[in-house]
Structure 1
């Protein structure tokens, strides 16, 4: 199987490593060519333009930051570039955006399967991502051998847009859980309570989520460098969720507050740090 990977940022790089470890023939493209060097060293072919990247591909994987980035790539491609290939869209975008991208690709003779992923760099490298594929059932079945390489137990979600909605629902929980834990941890620290005692009780309760321990040391040490998922991306996804949820008549007041906290985190210059940096906005360091 010859694959093309467009977008080799943090997650794209990790995904490419997984595909190469599975001995797949891989051509990669990234607007910033310096971000392809790691995969080139592992055996990937590097393309200088998107059209070159897809020439031999049966399946094109798009791991781009948002819908605008996807459209910017598609606009450079000809009908011949797009036709007769399966386009796998892996990023977190709005359902309406995914539906529109799917229509654009299908109009030019391509096939489209949205497949947003949940997980971070270790899961991408080890093939343990949680996948949310949606679109045409036959395209899902065609992609299943590939999906099984990069994710565990791939399950078909439904029609185009439903996978995108599922991913927004998941990422809303990332924002909510992290902000909520930050506030509780901040109170514990302000009151001089032993953090480990708090965590010991929390771990024994129905309130516990594993992400709390994953982010605890980062928050306590205020060490947010080397992100697996940057704050700016969580802020983008939170705004997307708000837009979709509000359009459907859902009450989003709670999440609006968290979005404000994320905006404050970005204003503090922490956009490119790990999203646990929310803690710095919730509980600012003393001067």
Structure 2
């Protein structure tokens, strides 16, 4: 059986924006394993993202075989008639299509190649889709181990956050063998409105890391601009309005503004609760740093953003939404 894999890089979570939902189109051509049938689908990882994703599979008629390291989170699924397994290996024994949604590289390695991991019982021809945010190099190593067992591995990280997960409006960035993309897409379209093929295994993770680095940089920039304007005597709502009709407009300013009271329904107006945690952003930026090092790519602003979010974590912001960088800047002593 597969040996435990080594990995490098920080663990990661991710929060991105996804556009308005489009109606699910006709199903792609059915691959050799006949994806159209509503046979059981394994789902491992029922956290803030995995829980609503699994529920959307249920809404589309797929029976589930579930596992989470915290049994209590499986209770509502069991009461709804779904099967709950005692380990990832049991999930692999009972399902030949499995989706994993885990918080870190370490968790993914354990679930796939650990003592009771998927690879202990995986069936030949199984399709394994990992929607976790992890180091691309770990995805590639997992894919090699899965291939040795005669199965198929694809990385399919998501963007859109908890809200999009609940509404089935996620965007999936998929890496893997292109011939298997149609098979993966049929399942992923139950949970998202955009399913994009990126290339070989690991490219989905790379796309996600790039997007999240840009998100962090733009959020810090928005927070700095808003803070400067407020301290210069501008009304924050007026300033946001001006920014959003000008060239400085970005997602962080017009959809997820970090200033309390400027927008409703965002973490900044709820004491920065919910959303995407500062700790997870720091971890994602760590992945970007690792990728930049391995590819010898300069990421000057990305590295600075990493430092800022790490400092925030050390100063009590770890459990707050990453837009709390505005609050952090407000509380810092003037330079």
Q: TM-score, normalised by structure 1?
A: 0.92
Higher mean Cα deviation, 27-36 or 220-229?
220-229
Per the alignment, residue 138 of structure 2 pairs with 97
Q: Bigger CA drift: 167-176 or 142-151?
A: 142-151
SS in 2 for 1:133: strand
Which segments of 5 or more consecutive residues in structure 1 lack a partner in the other structure? none
Which residues of structure 2 form unaligned runs of 5+?
A: 1-38, 262-267
Q: 2:49 aligns with which of 2, 8, 11?
A: 11
* Aligned twin of 2:306: 259
Question: Larger relative contact order (C-alpha < 8 A, sep ≥ 6)?
Answer: 2
Q: Is the 8 A contact 1:62 1:88 kept in 2?
A: yes
Displacement of 1:83 in angstroms is 2.8
Pairing 1:27–2:65 present: yes
Aligned to 1:161: 202
Q: How does 1:86-125 map to 2 (within 5 A)?
A: 86-125=127-166
Provide the rounded CA distance (Å) in 2 between the counterparts of 1:265 and 1:240.
18
Does structure 2 retain, via aligned residues, the 8 Å contact 1:264–1:281? no
Indicate the residue corresponding to 2:315 in structure 1.
268
Of 105, 110, 118, the residue aligned with 1:72 is 110
Give the match's secondary structure for 2:257: helix
Of 39-48 and 176-185, the range deviating more from structure 2: 39-48
1:113 aligned counterpart, secondary structure: strand
Q: Does 1:152 align with 2:190?
A: no
Aligned-partner Cα distance in 2 for 1:30–1:99: 24
Moved more, 171-180 or 53-62: 53-62
1:27–1:46: 8 Å Cα contact kept in structure 2? yes
2:329 equivalent among 268, 282, 285: 282
Contact 1:265–1:280 (8 Å) recurs in 2: no
Query: C-alpha displacement at 1:30, in angstroms?
Result: 1.1
1:93 alignment partner, SS class: coil
| Aligned Cα root-mean-square deviation (Å) | 2.1
Kindly tell me: are residues 78 and 281 of structure 1, through their superposed partners in 2, closer, same or farther at Cα, counting changes over 3 Å?
closer
Partner of 1:48: 86
Q: What does 1:223-242 correspond to in 2, within 5 Å?
A: 223-242=270-289
Aligned with residue 81 of structure 1, among 121, 124, 135: 121
Aligned pair count? Answer: 286
Distance 1:49 1:80 in 2: 10
Instruction: Tell me, in whole angstroms, the C-alpha distance in 1 between the residues paired with 2:289 and 2:300.
Output: 9
User: Is the Cα–Cα contact under 8 Å of residues 88 and 118 in structure 2 kept in the other structure?
Assistant: no
- TM-score (normalizing by structure 2): 0.79
Report the Cα distance in structure 1 between the residues aligned to 2:282 and 2:80, rounded to whole angstroms: 33
Seen in structure 2, the aligned counterparts of structure 1 residues 105 and 216 have a Cα distance that, compared at 3 Å, is same
Give 1 or 2: higher helix fraction.
1
Q: Secondary structure at the match of 2:64?
A: strand
Q: CA deviation at 1:81?
A: 1.6
Distance 1:248 1:80, change over 3 A: closer
Q: Deviations over 1:179-213 (max 9, x none)?
A: 11111111122223111221111111132123324
Between the aligned partners of 2:171 and 2:254, the Cα distance in structure 1 is 20
